[in-house]
Amino acid sequence: MLVSGRVQGVWYRGACRQQALALGLAGWAANLDDGRVEVVAEGPEEAVARLEAWCAQGPPAARVRAVVAEDEAETGLEGFETR
């Protein structure tokens, strides 16, 4: 998922990580140089959809403009981390 808008910063990534962990997902979240946040999440389809919906809403301090979600090959990641 690429999340665009005023979402740059550790706080957003950390909140995303906590949400992903609560949903039992694996993956990571990273700030991109252009201000977007990239989220790679693996797990049950329903849980990934719930994370996508959360990202679209975003934490209260974020102003999310768009979320682009694309399927990727599974990587076998364990846990969830921020970069």
Range of the domain at 17: 2-75
Domains identified in the chain, total number: 1
Helix (H) or strand (E) holding 28: strand 26-31
Condensed to tens digits (0 to 9), the pLDDT of residues 3-43 reads 765 565 557 788 888 899 999 999 888 888 887 888 888 88
pLDDT given at position 10: 57
- Phi and psi dihedrals of 68, rounded to 5? -115, 120
Is the residue at 82 inside a domain? no
- CATH code where residue 56 lies: 3.30.70.100
pLDDT given at position 23: 94
Name the residues annotated as catalytic. Answer: 13, 31
pLDDT given at position 63: 74
Condensed to tens digits (0 to 9), the pLDDT of residues 46-80 reads 999 999 898 888 777 677 777 888 887 777 777 88
